[in-house]
Amino acid sequence: MNKQDFRKYAHRAADWMADYLEGVESMRVKPDVQPGDIKNQLPLSPPQQGEDFERIMADFQSVIVPGMTHWQHPMFFGYFPANNSEPSVLGEMLTAAMGAQCMVWMTSPAAEELEERVMEWMRQLLGLPGTFTGVIQDSSSSATLVALLTARERASGFAINQKGFSGAERFRVYKSTQGHSSIDKDVKVAGLGIENLVNVAVDEQYAMIPGALEEAIRKDVEAGYTPLCVVATIGTTSSTAVDPIEAVAEVCRRYKCWLHIDASFAGTALLLPEMRWMSRGVEYADSFVVNPHKWMFTNFDCSCYFVQDKEALVRTFSILPEYLRTGVDAVVNNYRDWGVPLGRRFRSLKLWFVLRSFGVEGLQCKLRDHIALGAWLEDAVRSAAEFELMAPRYLNLVCFRYHPSGVDDEGTLDRLNEMLMEQINEGGRMFLSQTRLNGKFVLRMVAGQTNVALRHVQQAFAWVREAAASVRS
Ligand SMILES: *Cc1c(COP(=O)(O)O)cnc(C)c1O
């Protein structure tokens, strides 16, 4: 592609993006496709000769876009959001144009220093003490892996990095039964063994019971295990339950156990002073992760990881081959030593654009709006006789199910709700997802897309009621 064509198609792409974000509401949320439908429209081998960009763009529009689930659709209520915003997209475009590697200061000085400053801003916004230092990771899964590896190295005197496992370590990791599946994966990847992940019981609010944690740790210590790390969650994925950080931290302190806080989704709510109760005791944590790529209008990927013992982190990951040595290593942050990959994207740029463009008050205003939508939906569920609220609502996620009077068999209720979800999602007008709480099939609706408004939530719940009536008959 020549420079002139690049300019032309960049303008075209910009127009497409603006049209998309403006018009996404008129599309189906979930595409009407079967497995293989997209693949079958694509040639089996790559083209030998370069193709005209006009054709590439046309195929993007006719093959790819109709096969996408539209996460920026205001009627997308599934999972947790992965919302974006115009400033974030602009930052991402500029990042791509510069195509810089941000592994050490020297390879992108401005990227390193902007990341340092923006993470300091984030630390303040989240109400984390000044003893925390931040770094951007690609995902919460990676951040939690980094926490586990750092805890592992600190506990072993950095011997496992050196010699590998001796076989005598017998480390244990703890999370609640509601902790995220990425923790299970990270325990495996860190070489700790999934059988050494202990799932601690939760209370009626689905929050970890500190007494049960203490009991599990005490038993393990008696049996010769070493408690390595507790992963506590602020905002579980099933129901945004909040583990009692202060009480959990107390247990961790007693057993000299690393405390990692997984606030992947709900951490963003800590921008609101009225939500700070969720993180009470956070000063006793060793590490903390929140994903601006979920609920902070910053497109995937951007995960903010904070750690108290920066030295232990860097010592766990640092590696210094001659070809990466620079004269300023002693006075700058070389983020290649703060996580697993060497090569790093310039992720702080889009986050900086978002923070400056919204401003703190702009962000707070959006978050409060979304939480108010959650409250509206909670009220709507409570006042609809045929629906049942299935977990406490803290933020913008509401867990509920259809429960018509006279139907009390749990198996039947599961099937009804599964059919209900399928009917709603296949309709394409809105999208929600499911979980299981206490073994029961539960519908999850989270109002977190950037531009979701009351009219969307009202319409969505009206459709849910309509679909419920039709599923019943
Ligand atoms: C989404 C989520 C994760 C995983 O986040 P990734 O960035 O996709 O790895 C982990 N924990 C919780 C509580 C989550 O909501």
What would the pLDDT profile of 48-97 be if each residue is shown by its tens digit?
A: 999 999 999 999 999 999 999 999 999 999 999 999 999 999 999 999 99
d(CA 283, CA 262) in angstroms, rounded, equals 14
Q: Average model confidence (pLDDT) for the chain? A: 97
Mean pLDDT of 317-323: 83
Q: How far is the CA of 146 from the centre of ligand 1 (A)?
A: 14
Rg (CA), the chain: 24
What would the pLDDT profile of 376-427 be if each residue is shown by its tens digit?
A: 999 999 999 999 999 999 999 999 999 999 999 999 999 999 999 999 999 9
Q: Does 137 contact ligand 1 (Cβ within 6 A)?
A: no
- CB contact set of 210 (below 8 Å; sequence gap of 6+): 244, 247, 248, 250, 251
| Other Cβ atoms closer than 10 A to 261 | 29
Q: For position 472, what pLDDT does the model report? A: 86
Q: How far is the CA of 265 from the centre of ligand 1 (A)?
A: 7
324 pLDDT higher than 80: no
The mean-pLDDT minimum among 256-270, 320-334, 391-405, 449-463 falls in: 320-334
Q: Does 387 contact ligand 1 (Cβ within 6 A)?
A: no
83, burial (CB in 10 Å: exposed 0-12, middle 13-18, buried 19+): buried
What would the pLDDT profile of 438-447 be if each residue is shown by its tens digit?
A: 999 999 999 9
Q: Is 333:318 a contact under the CB 8 Å cutoff?
A: no
Q: Does 139 contact ligand 1 (Cβ within 6 A)?
A: yes
116 pLDDT higher than 90: yes
184 pLDDT higher than 80: yes
Q: Is 214:251 a contact under the CB 8 Å cutoff?
A: yes
What would the pLDDT profile of 191-231 be if each residue is shown by its tens digit?
A: 999 999 999 999 999 999 999 999 999 999 999 999 999 99
Q: Does 237 contact ligand 1 (Cβ within 6 A)?
A: yes
Q: Does 417 contact ligand 1 (Cβ within 6 A)?
A: no
Mean pLDDT of 290-309: 98
What would the pLDDT profile of 139-178 be if each residue is shown by its tens digit?
A: 999 999 999 999 999 999 999 999 999 999 999 999 999 9
46 pLDDT higher than 80: yes
Q: Does 264 contact ligand 1 (Cβ within 6 A)?
A: yes
Q: How far is the CA of 48 from the centre of ligand 1 (A)?
A: 40
Give the start-to-end residue ranges of the domains of the chain: 1-30+69-83+359-473, 100-345
Q: For position 451, what pLDDT does the model report? A: 97
Q: Does 265 contact ligand 1 (Cβ within 6 A)?
A: yes
Q: How far is the CA of 290 from the centre of ligand 1 (A)?
A: 9
Q: Is 318:337 a contact under the CB 8 Å cutoff?
A: yes
Domain 100-345 has CATH 3.20.20.150: no
State the CATH class of domain 1-30+69-83+359-473. Answer: alpha beta
Q: Can you state the angle between helices 348-383 and 86-98, rounded to 10 degrees?
A: 150
- Same CATH topology for 1-30+69-83+359-473 and 100-345: the answer is no
Q: How far is the CA of 140 from the centre of ligand 1 (A)?
A: 5
Two tokens at 204? 């009626």
Predicted TM-score of the model (pTM)? 0.97
| Residue with tokens 């497995």, as numbered in its chain | 35
Mean pLDDT of 313-334: 86
- CB contact set of 159 (below 8 Å; sequence gap of 6+): 166
Q: For position 322, what pLDDT does the model report? A: 79
